[in-house]
A and B are shown apart, each in its own frame.
Chain A
Amino acid sequence: MKKLMTGNEAAARGAYEAGVKFAAAYPGTPSTEIMENVATYNEITSEWAPNEKTAVESIAGASLGGVRSLASMKHVGLNVAADPLFTFAYTGVNGGAVIVTADEPGVYSSQNEQDNRYYSRAAHLIMFEPSDSMETKEMIKEAFALSEKYDMPVLFRMTTRICHSKSIVDCFDREEVPDKPYEKNVPKYCPLPVNAMEMVKKLKGNIEAAKDYSNNCKWNYIEDNGSKIGVIASGVSYRYAKEVLGDDVSYLKIGFSYPLPDKLIKEFSDLVDTIYVIEEIDPVMENDIKAMGIDVIGKEVFPISGELSPDVIRGAILGEKIETVEPDQDYLVNRPASLCAGCPHRGLFYTLGKKKDAIIYSDIGCYSLGLGQPYNAGDAILCMGASISGGHGLAKALEATNSDKKAFAVLGDSTFFHSGMTSLLDVAYNQSDVCTIILDNRITGMTGHQENPGSGMTLSGEEVEPADIEQIVRALGIKNVRTVNPNDLKATEEAINWGMELKEPSVIITRYPCALKRFSKLDKEEFPEAFKQSCYVDTDVCVGCRLCLKSGCPALAFNSTVENKSGILEDMCLGCGVCQQICPMGAIKRHENA
């Protein structure tokens, strides 16, 4: 049956058709929907893992137990999982294992633009790079077969454009593969020093053997159009090149991208006079091909960062630009991302942003929206969980330099579970006075509302005991702990002042659900009144001072009803009451029995 699928849906379908029985992921744009779609297949046990390291370790265990297993993550997630990855390469697999890394050329929703093809080189692992959804599905299936053939986990590199573009996919039936019962094999699965050197020899032998596959597989092929100009391209770059250059050049299409098909590349170089290597992010293939002694044109004409596109390739190779009608910038206003109406982070950032002596180490997630106007509540971001350990080091430096400033760390519930817990142990153990604020909105927010260990629900919808953040924090050794409702500005301010003054570790938990979250039974019990009301501006009372606008709420609109007065878009307002508490005139009121 034919279906229009995103690359992420196709990857999940591929796992289903390949007979996968276990899958784990931590959500991260652009990879999140892979596991959400895997979860729609009942034949696969699918899980949200607390982080990418636990996801990869759990599929290593499932592989050991004899079933095919899949882990998926965004590019930076593979850094978190790099420790198990490099040694999983040594032990190899029992049931096949595939790890999807979704890279982000152009950084649409990430903190960096790293090229994870280097991981295939560094860990000596086979890598695939699909160019559309159908290839994604078929390559995933082949990746499992090769994982078992070459006894290694296989890396599967997607990019934002592949993950989030739809194209037509032919769906087939699931093929059940026989389970491989576990058999004890200490030299294979235990990388003690006595075994490790044998393991690395085996791994390097296997990756060398995979070159033969690379030269002869259907994923790498020459399209000889009789031209003296040749293009070597992988991933979506191949599609862009075909779009712009059509049959005017010859192609070497690379789909199995590590190890590279050395003989095929040599054959192609004999066929053409000039070779362009088109690839997104770093000159990875370019450098490998140049190291073979073959002269190619690459990053000297293509950009060294950012996403490629047909117009970029047209400009670089043909020196042409299609004529366009340019927008008049005078008529455009940016639409910066903002906290949603009713967002429980608003009360915290409104309050914290006013503390001029606070240096705020922020984190990965919706709290990054606290950095901008009107809150200015953020000074640094590094990676998942770094707010706490970064805040700890900052606090130590502030102490050493006799600074009057105070270190704060802000992160969400899911980020705390991901990698904040070990950081907080560092704070408790090494005793800094950083005040950590855990914004517990009862869900993983920015990636689109995935369950997490604290939400009381698994990916498959099973109810479980929710992890209790306050108890975890106390168990880690933090004595000063407060939980507040962030929509209560007075209580929030008091808690921040309390943390500000303390000369020892402290934690504030702001507990209130995300406004976009679908409420669970537990949420309904705990927050029966949430988001059931709306507010309005009494324009007879409003003096137009604009103080309410400092809440940064998209449901507030100045001038919308009466000139020079505030207004509230009532279909958007969820009645959190933050602006109502800010208004010094009492002009913002709540609808009765709304």
Chain B
Amino acid sequence: MRTHNILLSGVGGQGTITAAKLLTTGLMNAGYDVKMSEIHGMSQRGGTVLSQVRYGDEVQSPVIEPGTADLLVAFEEMEAMRYLNYLKKDGTCVVNETQIWPMPVVIGSVKYPQGILDEVEKKVALKKVPASELAEQIGNPKTMNVILLGAIVQSMNLEHIDWEKIIRENIKPQFHDINIEAFKRGLELSK
């Protein structure tokens, strides 16, 4: 099997790293060779967060080459545009419909760009998902990342893996049920 590439982009605190951890653990348990790359450190202080996930029979590089990602999952709208160059020409971009203001917008020196997703849609196949809104609906905004995990699983046809088990083994018991609910919602979302 060729190596598959999934890029998760977002803003510090959105749970991209946890989503990537669940994803890679599931892939490893399913018998794939897996590599994942993240950059920690100073970039965490309000900066963008990027998790690169690769799986297949034998994976060499831990980073995705621009133009080769099968799936770009943006946890925030602007972060979809920022990393579009990683996506294959016929790849899919899944975007959580939410905006997080960067410091220059917060202090009022520039406006948050309008119409980002329309512009992204002109360039690549786009699936908009209201993961943040859904997470609020099911009662815990933090489950947004697991809703997006469901969307990833559906997009990459990875339903054969026992994700409920992965969630149970890697998330605190008091959050099992709500995250499993979140995951199911995510699975249905991108259909």
Contacts and interface: CB of A to CB of B under 8 A. Distances in A.
A325 interface: yes
Interface string A296-324: 00000000000001110010000001111
A243 B58 CA distance: 10
A2 B42 CA distance: 31
B113 interface: yes
The A interface is mostly helix, strand or loop, or mixed, namely loop
A583 B13 CA distance: 29
Given A30-B41, A166-B36, A325-B124, A333 B105 contact: yes
Nearest to B79: A335
Nearest to B101: A557
Contacts of A173: none
B42 A336 contact: no
Interface of B: 11, 24-25, 28, 33-48, 59-63, 65-68, 78, 81-87, 89, 101-108, 110, 112-113, 115-116, 119, 123-124
B165 to A, nearest CB: 16
B61 A239 contact: yes
Contact of A558 (B24, B39, B41, B108): B108
Contacts of B36: 4, 165-167
Contacts of B84: 325-327
Contacts of B89: 323, 325
Nearest to A448: B40
Contact of A310 (B44, B45, B61): B61
A392 interface: no
Nearest to A2: B28
Contact of B34 (A167, A324, A328, A336): A167
Contact of B45 (A243, A321, A325, A337): A337
B103 A323 contact: no
B67 A323 contact: yes
A108 B50 CA distance: 13
A161 interface: yes
11 contacts: A4-B28, A30-B41, A167-B36, A243-B65, A324-B66, A325-B84, A328-B119, A331-B115, A334-B102, A558-B106, A560-B101
B63 A310 contact: yes
B51 to A, nearest CB: 10
Contact of B67 (A108, A324, A448): A324
B108 A164 contact: no
Given A161-B37, A337-B43, A324 B85 contact: yes
A331 B105 CA distance: 13
Interface in A229-282: 236, 239-240, 242-244
B99 to A, nearest CB: 11
Interface string A1-42: 010100000000000000000000000011000000000000
Nearest to B123: A325
B80 to A, nearest CB: 9
